[in-house]
């Protein structure tokens, strides 16, 4: 609840105003903001509407449709399963009564860091009831974090992520038990990770920050993050927490596989956005924004309004149909084969967009495609893996203030979020049969490490075993303090992402592309050597270069721009933003550029 000051101005509004002023002041010293011209809503005079067939209705496909329909193209989206892809939410099975909605389920909780630019911009152009838009009505700050360690000697710590968060949740942050836990955990961590190793880790991130683009691509891209930070030979806590757990919790990447360039750059972007010194990022130290979520189930808040808006603009959706192949003649796509609920058929269009996930794209790269666009051969080398979520429905609303939970060191690399408080919703009144008063949504990032109950990996467990194992791991880490945060007696039911199935063998219908060292060269660009064939998805080369909603959205924008160019359209191009970095670093990057071209190591890497 917000406390008002004098004439009814809320404390939250006042702090946001201060934060905005600080951001504007800082922005004068950084890269100027780029705001693209408004898109033309009709095709250039004398030119017909062009037909675009988009195969895949996930984040990238919907983005392509959005940008092109606003620029006068005719767009049809073919989706075999669910619009929204891995970003969607769904109804969880269970009793519903009294006019309530079904319990909310999801592939995994959605997280919108402060360095995201493309997704919030798209949200701002999706109208919702009352004259607002998705961004303003539904994208909210999470002002706290709960840090827990799966090891004796550590206790859960509630930490603010902004000055506003500190004020809003001062009671929880300054609570004597939380202060005791913070002191105990800090002293333990300081003892477990030698100061020299901590300084070394910070120094490695500074190397990324001051490296030129040529070195990032030519050297750091070819090393894993674990190699880059030289984890071998360091303390076990350095390896477990700084290198592995921190990477898993913040960027959902595997430190032993992910490229140092990608992990280092996204870590730098997260830290930079938190400073509030970059005008292009929404986050500030005062008002927060480094960690944002939607305030309702994803479909209710975002996907459904988006689809309705696109339909109102003329986008046509064909559900239950997906691409099964493309026909190539004289270096151009002349038709696409589709199959699904309505049987097999063919599709013809002017432009064809493969906006499906990596596991569905690979089988379509048949010889006639690769002969016309041999650069796409590298896609076959890209890898995907499992990262899905589970929701626990609880009989009591959690006392934890709105916070993301980072369970560092848990075998399955767990992160979570209690949803009732940040959503500001009475779960019992709105969802299910009235017995559920909170939802703990958990992402499982590691499916290949043995757990603590069954000593099996998540991929080896049954559905029930996964539910019990995740609960056990999170409970053990969360309940190391004086007061238990999770209680077995409060668990009503749970819901695992339905993409995981066990018949005839365990499989995942929604794997996620994983970044690996030296994989950038294998990732496609949005346009291809086939003049009317384009690729969208988080496996496409983007500035964020990580399997994220932001990367998928950026790739959709790149496809739209490529089609605009191919069509010789007069419509305005779609803005595509870099990961902004502090200009004060530019002189150091220039020094490094000279050294790299001379064959010398980075000046801090000696």
At 497-521, the pLDDT tens digits run 999 999 999 999 999 999 999 999 9
* 316-364: pLDDT as tens digits: 999 999 999 999 999 999 999 999 988 899 999 999 999 999 999 999 9
Average pLDDT on 136-156 reads 91
Q: Is pLDDT at 16 greater than 70 in this prediction?
A: no
Q: Is pLDDT at 33 greater than 60 in this prediction?
A: no
Per-residue pLDDT, 245: 87
Per-residue pLDDT, 49: 62
Going edge to edge, which strands form the sheet with 291-294? 112-113, 291-294, 139-141
What number of helices (H) and strands (E) belong to the chain?
A: 22, 28
Q: Is pLDDT at 34 greater than 50 in this prediction?
A: no
SS3 category, 64 = helix
Per-residue pLDDT, 48: 58
When pLDDT is cut at 50, 70 and 90, the band that residue 308 belongs to is very high
Per-residue pLDDT, 286: 73
Average pLDDT on 257-271 reads 94
Per-residue pLDDT, 171: 78
Separation of alpha carbons 225 and 409, rounded Å:
17
Per-residue pLDDT, 3: 32
When pLDDT is cut at 50, 70 and 90, the band that residue 27 belongs to is very low
* 160-176: pLDDT as tens digits: 887 777 777 777 767 77
Per-residue pLDDT, 317: 98
Our measurement of the distance from residue 62's CA atom to the centroid of its chain's CA atoms, rounded to an integer in Å, reads 16
Per-residue pLDDT, 168: 77
Q: Are 512 and 384 in contact (CB under 8 A)?
A: yes
Per-residue pLDDT, 314: 98
Average pLDDT on 210-235 reads 97
- CATH number for the domain whose boundaries are 51-81+320-381+520-566: 3.50.50.60
When pLDDT is cut at 50, 70 and 90, the band that residue 274 belongs to is confident
Average pLDDT, the chain: 89
Q: b or e along 268-303 (b: 16 or more beta carbons within 10 Å of the residue's beta carbon)? A: bbbebbbebbbbbbbbbbbbbbbbbbbbbbbbebbb
Which residue do the tokens 């990022």 mark? 281
Per-residue pLDDT, 11: 32
* 441-463: pLDDT as tens digits: 999 999 999 999 999 999 999 99
Per-residue pLDDT, 411: 96
- Tokens linked to 59: 């984040």
Q: Which of 175, 141, 136 is nearest to 421 (CA)?
A: 141
Q: Where are the domains of the chain?
A: 51-81+320-381+520-566, 86-143+292-298+387-508, 193-287+584-597
Separation of alpha carbons 247 and 136, rounded Å:
30
Separation of alpha carbons 264 and 602, rounded Å:
15
Average pLDDT on 392-418 reads 95
Query: How far from each other are the two terminal CA atoms of the chain, in whole angstroms?
Result: 53
* 549-596: pLDDT as tens digits: 999 999 999 999 999 999 999 999 999 999 999 999 999 999 999 999
CB atoms within 10 A of CB 138: 21
What would the DSSP string read from start to end of 558-582? HHHHHHHHHTT--SPPPP-------
When pLDDT is cut at 50, 70 and 90, the band that residue 2 belongs to is very low
Planar angle of CA 416, 419, 422, nearest 5 degrees: 110
When pLDDT is cut at 50, 70 and 90, the band that residue 276 belongs to is confident
Non-local CB neighbours of 91 within 8 Å, separated by 6+ positions: 101, 102, 103, 104, 105
When pLDDT is cut at 50, 70 and 90, the band that residue 288 belongs to is confident
Q: Out of 12-16, 90-94, 429-433, 602-606, pick the least confident.
A: 12-16
* 175-203: pLDDT as tens digits: 778 777 878 788 788 789 999 999 999 99
Our measurement of the distance from residue 433's CA atom to the centroid of its chain's CA atoms, rounded to an integer in Å, reads 32
Q: b or e along 492-504 (b: 16 or more beta carbons within 10 Å of the residue's beta carbon)? A: bbbbbbebbeeee
């Amino acid at each position: 609840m917000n406390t008002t000051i004098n004439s009814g101005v809320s404390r939250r509004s006042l702090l946001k105003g201060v934060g905005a002023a600080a951001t504007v002041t800082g922005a004068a010293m950084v890269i100027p903001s780029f705001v693209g011209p408004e898109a033309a809503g009709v095709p250039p005079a004398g030119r017909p509407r062009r037909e675009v067939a988009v195969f895949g209705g996930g984040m990238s496909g919907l983005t392509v449709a959005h940008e092109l329909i606003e620029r006068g193209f005719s767009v049809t989206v073919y989706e075999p399963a669910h619009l929204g892809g891995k970003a969607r939410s769904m109804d969880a099975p269970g009793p519903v009564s009294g006019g309530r909605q079904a319990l909310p389920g999801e592939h995994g909780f959605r997280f919108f860091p402060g360095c995201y630019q493309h997704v919030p911009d798209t949200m701002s152009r999706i109208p919702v009831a009352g004259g607002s838009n998705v961004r303003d009505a539904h994208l909210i700050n999470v002002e706290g974090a709960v840090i827990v360690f799966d090891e004796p000697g550590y206790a859960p710590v509630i930490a603010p992520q902004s000055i506003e968060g500190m004020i809003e949740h001062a009671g929880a942050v300054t609570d004597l038990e939380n202060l005791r836990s913070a002191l105990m955990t800090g002293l333990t961590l300081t003892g477990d990770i030698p100061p020299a190793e901590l300084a070394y880790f910070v120094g490695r991130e500074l190397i990324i920050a001051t490296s030129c683009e040529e070195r990032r691509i030519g050297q750091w891209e070819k090393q894993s993050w674990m190699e880059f930070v030289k984890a071998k030979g360091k303390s076990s806590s350095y390896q477990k927490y700084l290198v592995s757990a921190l990477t898993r919790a913040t960027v959902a990447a595997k430190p032993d596989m992910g490229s140092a360039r990608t992990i280092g750059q996204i870590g730098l972007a997260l830290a930079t956005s938190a400073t509030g010194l970059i005008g292009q990022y929404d986050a500030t130290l005062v008002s927060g924004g480094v960690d944002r979520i939607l305030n309702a189930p994803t479909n209710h808040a975002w996907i459904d309004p988006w689809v309705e808006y696109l339909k109102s603009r003329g986008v046509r959706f064909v559900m239950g149909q997906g691409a099964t192949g493309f026909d190539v003649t004289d270096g151009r796509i002349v038709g696409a084969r589709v199959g699904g609920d309505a049987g097999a058929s063919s599709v013809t269009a002017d432009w064809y967009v493969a906006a499906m996930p990596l596991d569905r794209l690979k089988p379509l790269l048949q010889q006639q495609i690769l002969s016309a666009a041999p650069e796409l051969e590298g896609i076959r080398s890209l890898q995907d893996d499992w990262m899905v979520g589970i929701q626990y429905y609880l009989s009591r609303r959690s006392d934890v203030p709105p916070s993301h939970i980072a369970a560092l060191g848990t075998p399955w690399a767990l992160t979570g979020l209690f949803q009732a408080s940040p959503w500001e919703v009475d779960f019992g009144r709105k969802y299910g049969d009235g017995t559920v008063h909170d939802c703990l949504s958990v992402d499982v990032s590691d499916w290949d490490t043995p757990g603590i109950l069954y000593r099996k990996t998540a991929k080896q467990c049954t559905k029930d075993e996964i539910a019990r194992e995740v609960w056990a791991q999170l409970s053990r880490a969360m309940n190391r303090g004086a007061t238990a945060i999770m209680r077995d007696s409060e668990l009503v039911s749970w819901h695992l992402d339905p993409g995981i199935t066990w018949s005839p063998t365990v499989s995942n219908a929604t794997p996620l592309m994983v970044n690996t060292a030296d994989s950038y060269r294998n990732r496609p660009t949005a346009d291809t050597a086939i003049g009317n064939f384009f690729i969208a998805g988080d496996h496409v080369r983007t500035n964020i270069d990580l399997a994220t909603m932001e990367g998928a959205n950026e790739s959709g924008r790149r496809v739209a721009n490529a089609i605009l160019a191919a069509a010789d359209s007069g419509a305005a191009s779609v803005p595509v933003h870099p990961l902004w970095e502090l200009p004060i670093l530019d002189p150091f990057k220039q020094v490094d550029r000279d050294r790299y071209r001379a064959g010398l190591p980075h000046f801090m890497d000696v």
